[in-house]
A and B are shown apart, each in its own frame.
Chain A
């Protein structure tokens, strides 16, 4: 009997197996044939293990980067990358993340059913990343066990329904109808960009009336984009370290020229991210369709909230402008952060990670264009670039030991949720934090019951 209990207990506490179990339940609930159930369950577990392997690859490069940056510049340098930080977070917080993700999706369905936030968040990888972020900040805030899972799931469900609602007004402007919602956790950056666009864009023509060269499209290949930018970062950081007094060759892989070292480490990092992406893809392969199918049955009137490239075709030039200008904003933000550091504040230096600027910056460009044409796209994306540089700097202190990693969450909603929940947790720990999560979740439900709907729209 003991050994059976032991096996059961290990199933529920081993994250990869637990995630497999979630997929298994989803597949059985959809009455899939047995071979599909077996295949899906295996691939989900496999994916989880692959994510861990990816973390193992990229952490070496990150450690070098952090140590050399610190040595050369005397401060912490951070490359924001969701995949990297999530793969590291899963080393310690995988069990909580898995439970929070599963029950968080259920919480999303409950909110869509019983409140006026009728959105189902279908961008599965962002659900996973948000689950990991929430698991970390709540654990740092003193929650554990069922309280952690309950509070985390409610908060995740709330973010999954609330952020798409915030973007919907501009989404209608972009897509021209109200049937699709936007589900990508950079929403605050996009809404910020749309707001700036509305302020400055009066009379500005749409970006789509400019003819643009398309040569930059090779950067859409994320592995290439990460490799190139990390190579530039490594060259600068290693080059500076080599020229700094006290440098010795043991700081980098022995016997390698520092340029070759930089090349290999940057590609190793990109390789790690590639592996993590492959793992995430495997993990989600069964979970997302199951979530989609179940939610369509329970809340057929909810709008699906979809990943950011859904808006790219509506404004292709804004996509390019958004990326370039947001990246520029990231560089300017980095400059400001180092000035603040020079003035005595202790902030990590956030380098412009190419992936967040590419995806989120591009989306910010589209949102800015929708409300304010060219001027809106440019200034909105610039504001977005500044925002996603400053937010991660303030997220680091509430991330516990992960705050000392040389990478962190990049997109605006992750960092904002982390900063808000993390700072509340600095004052209110344990059960109080659980209570706040429950209340926050219930507000939209109570609102829907207490405040009657306006008769005409």
Chain B
């Protein structure tokens, strides 16, 4: 299955999800994946089908997990953790 869109979510969809989005964009660029769209929004906007993958902090897991694949970050600011988890996920999807 293709991964076309990644959504980063947090409570208000303003601060921490935006930060995670910038980090995801950075990692995707490093991996050479320029086609994957990444965006951020509030928990309210998380539904089935809005994204192929949600990248979130632990506190959002219960809200997002019913609606699709999630990468849960122990530390939402750690780029190494994000890179490890994201590239492992993309490998299972055959994107990498």
Please list the residues of chain A having a beta carbon within 8 angstroms of any beta carbon in chain B.
122-126, 180, 184, 214, 217-218, 220-224, 274, 277, 280-281, 284, 288-289, 292, 306-310, 312-313, 316, 319, 355, 358-359
Contacts and interface: CB of A to CB of B under 8 A. Distances in A.
Interface string B42-81: 1110000000000001111011000000000111110000
B89 interface: no
A123 to B, nearest CB: 5
24 contacts: A123-B15, A125-B12, A184-B15, A217-B59, A217-B63, A220-B11, A220-B59, A220-B60, A222-B42, A274-B44, A277-B12, A277-B42, A281-B18, A284-B18, A288-B18, A306-B16, A306-B19, A307-B19, A309-B16, A310-B76, A313-B57, A313-B59, A313-B76, A355-B12
A221 B67 CA distance: 14
Interface of B: 10-16, 18-19, 22, 40-44, 57-60, 62-63, 73-77
Given A289-B22, A310-B76, 17 more contacts: A124-B14, A126-B15, A180-B77, A214-B62, A218-B63, A221-B63, A222-B11, A222-B44, A223-B42, A281-B13, A281-B40, A307-B19, A309-B16, A312-B59, A313-B76, A316-B58, A358-B11
Residue from B12, B22, B63 with most neighbouring chain A CB atoms (10 Å): B12
A124 B17 CA distance: 12
Nearest to B58: A313
A42 to B, nearest CB: 16
Contact of B57 (A126, A281, A289, A312): A312
Contacts of A313: 57-59, 73-76
B58 A222 contact: no
Given A223-B44, A274-B44, A359-B11, A310 B58 contact: no
A88 to B, nearest CB: 18
A304 to B, nearest CB: 8
B14 A309 contact: no
Nearest to B10: A309
Chief secondary structure at chain A's binding surface: helix
A125 B57 contact: no
Contacts of A308: 15-16
Contacts of A319: 59
B89 to A, nearest CB: 19
Contacts of B57: 309, 312-313
Contacts of B15: 123-126, 184, 306-309
Contacts of B10: 307, 309
Nearest to A292: B22
B39 to A, nearest CB: 9
Given A222-B12, A222-B42, A222-B44, A309 B59 contact: yes
A224 B63 CA distance: 12
Contacts of A310: 16, 19, 75-77
Nearest to B76: A310
A402 to B, nearest CB: 22
Nearest to B43: A221
